[in-house]
Amino acid sequence: MQKINPQKVSKPVGSLIGLKPEYEERYIILHKNAFPGVLDRIRESNIRNYSIFLLDGILFSHFEYIGNDFAADMKAIADPVTKDWWKLTDPMQEPLPVRKEGELWAEMDLLLHFGESPKSYLKANRFAYTIEIKRGLEKVVKNIFSNFDERLKALFVKANIHNHIVYCKNSKLYVYFEYTGNDFSNDDKELNSKPMVEKFNSELGKNLKTQWQQMKEVFHTD
């Protein structure tokens, strides 16, 4: 079993890219059987807890960076083994128009991050959800998260929800968290029944379209 690096997370990173529909099954199988050398390089570049989720042709990745030189560690990823891996994965992916110059995966804005798990994330169940923001209200939503009531955090942790992260890109929210309890449905129901949580959900919900959609995890590193 991999030894857990106790170093504090210095940078959570979330990003998006498209997946061509004809490659979905192949992409999932490939990532369930990732090259050992690719996984080693990820660890050596100080990346941990790296997950990729999929929904409706969009891939959402989240990882935690625990090093001190992000640019250098990301550059080092381009070793021969990983380049061979990219020869397989790049043709399956479709970069999004919203990416910045030089990006393949479009990095997202981090809106909220709290509650790093006191337990090993190897024992946690990982979840990712996404939802669309109503047209023209992205700034309002970002402001809601910038004024997130600190008292809410304890309620999430009590509900066994840890490492709660919210990203934003292209007028959509992407939420990642880890659950360490035994009955997520019950804990989530109790959490959302708390008056403070109900108030927050009501305020946020006015600015969102449709319902939250759960994404499917297709890749994870220890």
- What is the rounded average pLDDT of the residues 46-61? 97
Q: Which residues pair with 18 in a beta bridge?
A: 58, 94
pLDDT higher than 90, residue 141? yes
Q: Does residue 2 sit within a domain?
A: no
Write out the H or E segment, with its range, that includes residue 44: helix 36-44
What pLDDT shows up at residue 121?
54
Range of the domain at 191: 109-215
Distances (CA, A) of 221 to 39, 45, 51, 96, 105: 7, 13, 7, 24, 18
The per-residue pLDDT for 119 is 55
Same domain, 181 and 118: yes
The candidate with the shortest Cα–Cα distance to 55, out of 110, 129, 165, 132, is: 129
State percent of the chain over pLDDT 70: 93
User: Do 99 and 156 share a domain, yes or no?
Assistant: no
- State mean pLDDT over 124-147: 97
Evaluate whether residue 4 is within a structural domain: no
- By the 8 A CB rule, do 220 and 50 touch? yes
77 with 99, same domain?
yes
Which of 107, 128, 157 terminates a domain? The answer is 107
Of the listed ranges 2-6, 122-126, 128-132, 174-178, the least confidently predicted one is: 2-6
